[in-house]
């Protein structure tokens, strides 16, 4: 059996697809159709034969890019056959859009498996029950299983990532620049999110509370660098490092692995931590962990403002609060989040 996993959604969804990939790899070769960023985070994964890039918002945008990607999928499958026509037997639709369903149909993959709630379900040959009450990593894992299968063990649905020696060396160099002889523990903060209302505003105050106990490290993309500088400006010299935009995705995962705890919004860094086993305090505002995207590492905490009737207000998180008050984040105190951090450190 040769499988294609289609996952062109957000980075966190790509990470949460790795248990599905691992399960399929036990049965035969697995290729993954994903975004360029997804291909970067899946690098070095021994369970993946090929990562096929689909830059659907830029280089492969529109009908010409769609056609190129269909051809790319056909070539990737055919280039590794034995000459007996054993092209991809199955496509697992971890991302369920109509576009993705059309793409694998156009690529002539005979079996197309996806959720019964997906937009592209009319083009699937098998529809799997969407288990809303389960974590998304487990939901995706079930795409590869029959309804009568046993419940998975925790290790079966644990995300996994594979930083390289170069990623580890890059982290060594960053930490050496920060404090060559430091033996203090690291608390990693990930203050960014592509969704405006998911960005908890009190990271600077939290950092000042953490600084007496541990060094503070900021992770994120280049867009988060200025915010990281603002956080570290509140701290004594030498007690913090801004790594936002200064390392690749897998190096960031390695940096998170070295942390005693990660504090993050409901965004991709918490899934990096789940894959690396780092305890996480995830701050939920407009969303809730019951959507299935909470932290999975041992000793992790999902924090949120309880008692607001307006929560949750959105599946992802709107750019602005629909009611204009944003209480779900403004009223979640730095003291409460620090207490969770201190408990984990203790």
Q: Are residues 261 and 307 in the same domain?
A: yes
Q: Is residue 203 left, alpha or beta, with left meaning phi > 0 and alpha meaning psi from -120 to 50?
A: alpha
Number of domains in the chain: 2
Residues 169 and 139 in one domain: no
Domain housing 195: 165-345
Q: Which of 133, 157, 181 is the last residue of a domain?
A: 157
Judgement on whether residues 11 and 141 belong to the same structural domain of the protein: yes
Pairing of strands 280-284, 301-304: parallel
CATH of the domain at 209: 3.40.50.2000
CB 101 within 8 A of CB 124: yes
- Based on the domain organization, do 137 and 191 belong to the same domain? no
Final residue in a domain of this structure, among 126, 157, 188: 157
Q: What is the DSSP letter of 113?
A: E
Residues 31 and 135 in one domain: yes
Q: Per residue, what are the HEC states of 23-34?
A: HHHCCCCEEEEE
pLDDT along the chain (346 residues), means of 10: 95 98 96 97 97 95 96 85 67 98 97 98 98 97 91 96 98 88 89 96 98 96 96 93 96 98 98 98 97 97 95 93 96 98 96
- DSSP label of 94: S
Q: Do both 198 and 334 map to the same domain?
A: yes
Of 157, 177, 206, the residue that ends a domain is 157
294 and 321 in a single domain? The answer is: yes
Q: Are residues 169 and 289 in the same domain?
A: yes
Residue 86, pLDDT score: 60
Residues 82 and 175 in one domain: no
What long-range pairs does 335-342 form, CB within 8 A, spacing at least 24?
Answer: 335/209, 336/303, 337/200, 337/202, 337/206, 337/263, 337/281, 337/283, 337/303, 338/206, 338/209, 338/210, 340/281, 340/301, 340/303, 341/187, 341/206, 341/210, 341/261, 341/263, 341/281, 342/213
User: Are 283 and 251 found together in one domain?
Assistant: yes
pLDDT of the residue at 37? 96
């Amino acid at each position: 059996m040769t499988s294609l996993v289609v996952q062109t959604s957000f980075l966190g969804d790509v990470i949460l697809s790795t248990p599905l990939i691992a399960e399929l790899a036990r049965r035969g070769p697995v290729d993954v159709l994903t975004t360029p960023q997804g291909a970067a985070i899946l690098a070095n994964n021994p369970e993946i034969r090929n990562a096929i890039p689909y830059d659907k918002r830029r280089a492969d945008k529109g009908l010409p890019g769609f056609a190129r990607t269909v051809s790319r999928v056909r070539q990737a499958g055919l280039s590794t056959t034995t000459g007996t026509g054993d092209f991809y037997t199955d496509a697992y639709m971890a991302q369920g859009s109509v576009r993705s369903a059309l793409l694998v149909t156009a690529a002539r993959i005979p079996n197309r498996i996806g959720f019964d709630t997906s937009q592209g379900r009319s083009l699937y040959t098998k529809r799997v029950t969407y288990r809303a009450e389960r974590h998304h990593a487990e939901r995706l894992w079930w795409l590869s299983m029959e309804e009568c299968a046993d419940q998975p063990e925790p290790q079966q649905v644990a995300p996994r990532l594979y930083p390289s020696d170069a990623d580890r060396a890059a982290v060594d160099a960053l930490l050496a620049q920060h404090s060559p002889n430091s033996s203090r523990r690291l608390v990693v903060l990930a203050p960014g999110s592509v969704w405006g209302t998911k960005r908890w505003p009190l990271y600077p105050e939290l950092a000042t509370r953490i600084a007496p106990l541990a060094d503070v490290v900021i992770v994120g993309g280049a867009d988060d660098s200025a915010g990281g500088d603002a956080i570290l400006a509140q701290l004594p010299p030498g007690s913090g490092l801004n790594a936002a935009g200064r390392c690749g995705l897998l190096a960031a995962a390695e940096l998170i692995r070295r942390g005693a705890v990660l504090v993050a919004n409901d965004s991709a860094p918490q899934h990096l931590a789940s894959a690396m086993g780092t305890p996480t305090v995830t701050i939920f505002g407009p969303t809730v962990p019951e959507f299935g995207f909470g932290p999975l590492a041992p000793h992790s905490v999902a924090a949120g403002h309880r008692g607001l009737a307006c929560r949750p207000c959105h599946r992802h998180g709107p750019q602005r609060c629909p009611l204009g008050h944003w209480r779900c984040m403004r009223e979640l105190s730095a003291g409460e989040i620090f207490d969770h951090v201190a408990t984990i450190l203790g």
